[in-house]
Amino acid sequence: MAGPSPHKLHSFAELRAMFGPLWLRCDSCRRFRRLAVPAEIRDRDWRLTRFKCGRCGGAGYCAIDRPDQEPGMQDYEEET
């Protein structure tokens, strides 16, 4: 039996609890990295949060699945 979520609605903590690891990807330079969810953004609404690529300055997008394992996205490189 499921009960109410202990996490704030639409927060990164709720998203991570439901789907597991989250990823950030940049479609401009075809890179991605795992999203750490520090305390500063844990309760932030993921729908209103914007990310920016540190290398090219392009928009960063939150992904639930590892980008290089999705069909047609095998050329994405993981940033270490």
Contact between 7 and 46 under an 8 Å Cβ cutoff? The reply is: no
How many domains does the structure of the chain reveal?
Answer: 1
Is 5 domain-assigned? no
Is 4 domain-assigned? no
User: What pLDDT tens digit does each residue of the chain (80 aa) get?
Assistant: 467 778 889 999 999 988 999 999 999 999 999 998 888 889 999 999 999 999 999 999 999 999 999 898 999 999 97
Q: What is the pTM of this model?
A: 0.80
**First-residue to last-residue Cα distance in the chain:** 40
Q: Which domain holds residue 64?
A: 12-78
Is 33 domain-assigned? yes
Is 3 domain-assigned? no
Contact between 77 and 30 under an 8 Å Cβ cutoff? The reply is: yes
Rounded CA separation 31/18 (Å): 24
Does the CA dihedral 47-23-41-58 come out positive or negative? negative
